[in-house]
Chains A and B, each alone.
Chain A
Amino acid sequence: MKISIRIFFLILLSNNLFAQGTIFGLEKYNLGIIRPNYSSAGLGRSFEVADTDSLHLNYMNFATWTNISYTTYEVDALYTASKSKDSNSNSYFRDYGSFQGGFLALPIIPQKFVIGIGLQPFIQMEHTVKDTIGDVSNDYTVIKGGLSRLTFNVSYKPITSFGFGIGYEYNFGRIEELYRMQMIEYGDQFDMNFEYRFGGHGIVTSAFFKPSELYSIGVFYRLPVKMNYNIYSETGNSYIDDEILKKEMTLPTQLNIGAIVNLSRKLRLGADVIYQNWKKGYKIEDNTISNQSDYMRLGFGFELKESEKRFTSFFNTLNYRMGVFFGNQKVNNMDNSVREYGLSMGVSLPLRRFIFRVDFSGLLGRRGNLSNNYYEENFLQFGISISTNEMWFFNIED
């Protein structure tokens, strides 16, 4: 019961903790950049979709949760920092830390039928930009907030080599925007505030196929998400402020495909492809939004797994991971797509072997290119996941 209280506590708190340390993503009708919802383990090796680990929750494929035997929960946090420069040789640094949500999986029938619940932020925005072009004022826009999804999923494994899952997601969130005009002549300011409150339903399906210990394949599909949002404004103009605008937004489909090849008991290779059709699938009031690209991320990596021996050296109890990734962000910059690529690595530290572990990940990457974009930035991320297992529904007396 203590665990559930902790999870509830985290769900409540994490809702307000959206942030994003990047200079990209601030465009009209834009929702920032996409950061795939990998766990820290997945982030470190750059693949996760086909991972059938029985001690770990796969954030990218709920169907694989059918492999767990015990009640499992996992929470994540992420620190990200970026050093950017623009075409005029100005440089910028920004960094933020934030929770990345958490999941709880309850195996009703161990290794066969699992239900799960979780909270996962998927759009995070924290931007401040200024426009000094005008002769009346310097204009500042501060955008803060994001979107999250509360997920309920059911996974079933009818046969050992195949499992599938279906999930319902309630997508919600809030984005606040402060538009400030710093008047040049008098130095005072003139503010307008807008708040966008989102809500909408989504459905996801997922499956994995593991015909042998040699390899596994995973697939995840998210249907287009229809969201409604209300716009609240605080401008001083009651005609604007009293009218709560209601609009509809459609988020695009998402397809994750992954494969893992186990070269040995300890070493495995994997790859993921993540795709979202933002260009045609992102709509507001049934209109597509300009300056969007389809999101694509291709990741490769390997993982050196811990020893299965009960008594072994400390270093043999660790998992080591490394990967590379490259892809295309969803938002254009200077009318050109924003490419990103990078190197990832990670390590898994067992605090209590096979039950309680902490995953650390680090990532170095580059986003954008001054030859195509106004900005380019080097970024790094540090992630941490804590996962633990407990027996909730086992009758000890049996």
Chain B
Amino acid sequence: MKDKSFLLLILLFVFSCQEINEKNIPNSGNIIDHGEFVNAIIYPDTAAFIINDRVNTANGIKLSIGSYQDFSATSLLKFIYLPDTSNELDSVYLHLYPESIFGDPEGLVTINLYQPIESWDESANTEDYWHNPGTMNFITSIEVVPDDSTTIIIPLEDKELIKSWQRDTVTMNHGIYLQMNSSDFLYEFHSFESSNTTYWPRLMYKVWENDTTFYYDSTNIGLDATIFDYTPDGAENIFEIAKSKNNLIISSGISAHTLLKFNLKDKLPKEAVLYSADLKLFVNDYNIIDESEGNLLDNPDHDGSFFIRLITEWNNDFTKMGIDSTFQYTNILTQTDDYLNLSHSYKKNFGQFAIQDLINGDINIEGLLIQYIMDGQDISVKRIYSLDDSVYAPSLNLQYYKITTSGF
């Protein structure tokens, strides 16, 4: 009997654990809440942009040459693996594959090749020397029709140059310096960082083997760097004009980062639980110098994605600035209609893992830095409305729940 009673108790226990799901959930206006959901717009206290004309172009997916709207670009290119010297060279050709073009010139353009005197690496754009490299030995030049589909094939007839590269790839092979004579046109070729290896720069060569010529193209592995410069005509410096017009700039090539200073600590309640945070930057599509026309410098081929980075400290003239290195590049602004903002998943991420961390005291955020993801890739300039615009001022749009009470 005892065993039966114990069995009965166990059955009762099992029965009591059977939680039967409710088929529907009642609506109630008296739901227990803990506060209120708040949609808040916070405007920056200060907005500015800073220029870096020595950005590292090592990871740029393009090689640019030419000039456009007072911006100019030259490129360094070096092939590392060269054919051996056992066979006689017949001919050598440099192949460059256009990725896009910037500008709309008439007639032919001339691409010039020079022999750099100094060695260099892919961060050459950060060094002053390459912005004014002095005289270099001319190798060759070619006139081409400026379009973005035809492969540029440049014969390198100076076989002694190639042989010198073959003999000593370290001390003699400084590669090629590419420059183009044009006033309003930029060629943008695929670089060695391009995702499509088929279009990497290539050195094609033909050699004699047993009285027969053979083509080889195994030398498309190398180093490259683009050197960007901006030499405005006096008063037509777009960056200075933008500053005078209280505009903000985000640019690549000649890199400009927009800085927004927020006093978030004072403007956010410490009881806030963040759902999302969105940064909204309205794009001014008009030319900075002549506002009757569109922004010619907004490169349509530049991927329109932008990083938000957290500024932990800065001084008033931006000469000293701390960037949160632990904040990874996981919040990407993209352009929607006429403004840059975050997608929904990034809004949640930015709100719940950055702004919430600020409220929690885990990080300090004095401001936000907005930059092109690839700000060493090519020439592109975005013009952004700033604080003085009553409609299009930058804003941080927050959605949070403000907890005011516990349930009991």
Binding site for B on A (CB under 8 A): 2, 6, 10, 13, 17, 19, 23, 26-29, 75, 77, 79, 84, 86, 88, 90, 92-99, 126, 128-134, 136-137, 139-141, 143, 175, 177, 179, 181, 183, 186, 188, 190, 192, 194, 196, 229, 231, 233, 235-240, 245, 247, 249, 284, 351-352, 356, 358, 374-375, 384, 386, 388
Contact = CB atoms under 8 A, between A and B. Distances in A.
A3 to B, nearest CB: 8
Interface in B18-57: 18-20, 22-34, 37, 39
B406 interface: yes
B5 A27 contact: no
A386 B5 contact: yes
Nearest to A185: B344
Contacts of B4: 351
Nearest to A100: B16
B244 to A, nearest CB: 40
10 contacts: A17-B16, A84-B26, A90-B26, A90-B27, A130-B28, A237-B271, A237-B356, A237-B403, A238-B360, A358-B8
Contacts of A194: 34, 406-407
Given A77-B15, A132-B27, A136-B37, A181 B8 contact: no
Contacts of A192: 34, 273, 401, 403
Contact of B1 (A6, A77, A92, A356): A356
A280 B23 CA distance: 37
Nearest to B399: A136
A130 B31 contact: yes
Nearest to A284: B408
Given A29-B408, A181-B37, A13 B13 contact: yes
B361 interface: yes
A374 B272 CA distance: 33
Nearest to A237: B273
Contacts of A10: 9, 13
Contacts of B39: 136
Contact of A92 (B26, B399, B406): B26
Interface of B: 1-2, 4-6, 8-9, 12-13, 15-20, 22-34, 37, 39, 270-275, 344, 348, 352, 356, 359-362, 399, 401, 403, 406-408
Q: Which of B13, B16, B348, B401 has the most CB of A within 10 A?
A: B16
A384 to B, nearest CB: 7
A235 B402 CA distance: 11
A86 B399 CA distance: 33
B12 A99 contact: yes
Contacts of A183: 275
Contacts of B28: 26, 129-131, 374
Contacts of A27: 30, 32
Contact of B30 (A26, A84, A352, A384): A26
Contacts of A229: 408
B9 A386 contact: yes
Nearest to B356: A236
Interface of A is mostly: strand
A84 B406 CA distance: 28
A240 B273 contact: yes
Nearest to A229: B408
Nearest to B6: A6
Contacts of A98: 16
Contact of A97 (B16, B27, B399): B16
Contact of A196 (B9, B20, B23, B407): B407
A239 B15 contact: no
A205 to B, nearest CB: 28
Given A98-B16, A143-B32, A386-B9, 9 more contacts: A96-B19, A99-B16, A131-B28, A140-B25, A141-B33, A192-B403, A233-B406, A356-B5, A388-B5
Contacts of B13: 10, 13, 99
Contacts of B408: 29, 175, 196, 229, 231, 247, 249, 284
A190 B31 contact: no
A221 B338 CA distance: 73
A86 B271 CA distance: 35
Nearest to A352: B1
Contacts of B274: 236
Nearest to B12: A77
A247 B5 CA distance: 42
Given A77-B15, A99-B13, A177-B407, A128 B31 contact: no
Given A139-B33, A233-B406, A384 B12 contact: yes
A96 B17 CA distance: 9
Contacts of B271: 237, 239-240
Nearest to A84: B26
A273 to B, nearest CB: 29
Contact of B37 (A92, A137, A239, A388): A137
B9 A128 contact: no
A187 to B, nearest CB: 10
Nearest to A179: B34
B270 to A, nearest CB: 5
A304 to B, nearest CB: 25
B272 A237 contact: yes
Given A131-B28, A183-B275, A97 B34 contact: no
Nearest to B357: A238
Contacts of B1: 351-352, 356
Contacts of A29: 407-408
A245 B271 CA distance: 14
Contact of A2 (B2, B348, B359): B2
A143 B271 CA distance: 22
Contacts of A96: 19-20
A236 B352 contact: yes
Given A93-B23, A129-B31, A190-B401, A134 B16 contact: no
Contacts of A235: 273, 403
A28 B12 contact: no
Contacts of A137: 37
B24 A237 contact: no
A79 B14 CA distance: 12
B359 to A, nearest CB: 6
Contacts of A249: 408
Contacts of B272: 237
Contacts of B33: 131, 139, 141, 179
A391 B237 CA distance: 103
B359 A130 contact: no
A352 B32 CA distance: 50
